[in-house]
Amino acid sequence: MILVTGGCGYIGSHCAVELLKNNKDILIIDDLSNSDYQSIRNIKLISNKNVEFIHGDITDIDVLNDCFSQNNIESVFHFAGKKSISESYKDPLSYFSTNVKGTINLIESMQKYDVNNIIFSSSATVYGSDYPLPWKEDLILNMPHNPYAKSKLMSENILKSYLSTNQNFSIGILRYFNPIGFHSSGLLEDKVLGSSNLVPSIISYLLKNIQFLPVYGDNYDTKDGSGVRDYIHIIDLIEGHLKAYEYTKKNKGCFVWNLGSGEGFSVFEIIKKFEELLDMKFDLRVLPRREGDLAEYWADISKANRELNWYPEKDINNMVKNILAFFEIKKENN
């Protein structure tokens, strides 16, 4: 059985569905702080399979010990964590507590119950801002500025350090760029729409929940002045997890892979793709830059191509179409 921490959230729930599709038994632990029990019902509905669920917090090691002692767990997919850069500036301690202490608890509990395989949900933000593009996994990283990114890099380093005490351990660290898009059922993870990320903002605008679409900065040193990111479809991202899992089952050690598309698109370029497909003009408002935002970044994905035989299938046009299909489902349910 695979333990999926944070399995009710955006990435965790999509991963849970794919694991079940691949005939893996899973146990989800989630504190439902940024999701709700409906995720479990929907995961079951989509997969037509049973899912074990524990409502609990990974900062409580007793809860984790119970998970491992009462279930035959062979591997962990670790998604549980806080994920907002702006919130992490306001409440850094909770970021270190959940993201770092949670990871330490998990390692301790895995050690106690002799579980030796973990896939860790990391972030492109660990690269900070000092490196030439595209970013490669083997860069020696300085501590990034924002507390969220620090908590992810610290967790990576703790996992690597633990490895030297346990020769049987295997770690797959996945550095996500900007995951977007939705499961075709439209049933996974509504909470993402409440966030202020670009795609949720676009959907909120289309649903008329907001009157105009904010563009945070149009004077960056980029191709058109707006921020440039590497967007990767959620299903491609999850495929990377399954491949990383297979790889780490066969190879002992710590392995790091970027999961992105390898291409950068600006905010204006993304908006234009939506406008073209919808044949409409968006009401845009240029607002000041957000704290902590970088001008541009994208991934070098050749390591994941080579070692995992992982190639994202959906290009930016497919991603935008997928998002519009999700929007249609939401519009009908509105």
Q: Among residues 120 and 216, whose Cβ is nearest to ligand WQD? A: 216
The two three-digit tokens of residue 245, written as one number:
């899992």
109 near ligand WQD (CB under 6 A): no
Q: Among residues 24 and 314, whose Cβ is nearest to ligand WQD? A: 314
Distance, in Å, from the CA atom of 39 to the CA atom of 113, rounded to the nearest integer, reads 28
Answer yes or no: 311 catalytic.
no
SS (H, E, C) 138-150: CCCCCCCCCHHHH
Q: Among residues 8 and 85, whose Cβ is nearest to ligand WQD? A: 85
Which residue of 123, 155, 248, 322 would you call a contact of ligand WQD, by CB under 6 A?
Answer: 123
98 near ligand WQD (CB under 6 A): no
293 near ligand WQD (CB under 6 A): yes
Distance, in Å, from the CA atom of 84 to the CA atom of 104, rounded to the nearest integer, reads 21
Burial of 177 (0-12, 13-18, 19+ CB in 10 A): buried
Place of tokens 């049933």: 187
Stretch that binds ligand WQD, among 38-46, 77-85, 314-322, 324-332 (CB under 6 A): 77-85
Distance, in Å, from the CA atom of 67 to the CA atom of 122, rounded to the nearest integer, reads 23
Calculate helix-pair angle for 147-163, 102-112, nearest 10 degrees: 20
42 near ligand WQD (CB under 6 A): no
201 near ligand WQD (CB under 6 A): yes
Element (H, E) at 54: strand 52-55
Sign of the Cα torsion 136, 103, 251, 49 reads: negative
> Residue 114 phi/psi, 5° resolution?
55, 45
The two three-digit tokens of residue 140, written as one number:
């020696």
Query: Which residue in 127, 148, 205, 220 is the catalytic one?
Result: 148
Which residue of 150, 229, 241, 243 would you call a contact of ligand WQD, by CB under 6 A?
Answer: 229
For residues 243 and 306, the answer to whether their CB atoms sit within 8 Å is no
Which residue of 80, 198, 256, 320 would you call a contact of ligand WQD, by CB under 6 A?
Answer: 198
95 near ligand WQD (CB under 6 A): no
Q: At a CB cut-off of 8 Å and minimum separation 6, what does 172 contact? A: 118, 119, 120, 241, 244, 245, 247, 248, 255, 257
Which residue of 55, 90, 285, 290 would you call a contact of ligand WQD, by CB under 6 A?
Answer: 290
55 near ligand WQD (CB under 6 A): no
Stretch that binds ligand WQD, among 136-144, 165-173, 197-205, 242-250 (CB under 6 A): 197-205
Distance, in Å, from the CA atom of 1 to the CA atom of 181, rounded to the nearest integer, reads 28
Stretch that binds ligand WQD, among 30-38, 39-47, 52-60, 193-201 (CB under 6 A): 193-201
Site string for ligand WQD, 145-184 (x = CB under 6 A): -------------------------------x-x------
Q: Among residues 59 and 201, whose Cβ is nearest to ligand WQD? A: 201
CB of 237 to ligand WQD, least distance (A): 11
Q: Among residues 68 and 298, whose Cβ is nearest to ligand WQD? A: 298
Comparing every residue's Cβ against ligand WQD, the nearest one is 227
Give the HSE-up count for residue 103: Cα atoms under 13 Å, Cβ half-sphere: 27
216 near ligand WQD (CB under 6 A): yes
83 near ligand WQD (CB under 6 A): yes
Distance, in Å, from the CA atom of 228 to the CA atom of 221, rounded to the nearest integer, reads 10
Q: Indicate the Cα dihedral angle 137, 141, 264, 200, nearest 10°.
A: 110
Catalytic residues, by residue number, are: 148
Sites of contact with ligand WQD (CB under 6 A): 83-85, 123, 125, 176, 178, 196-198, 201, 214-216, 227, 229, 267, 290, 293
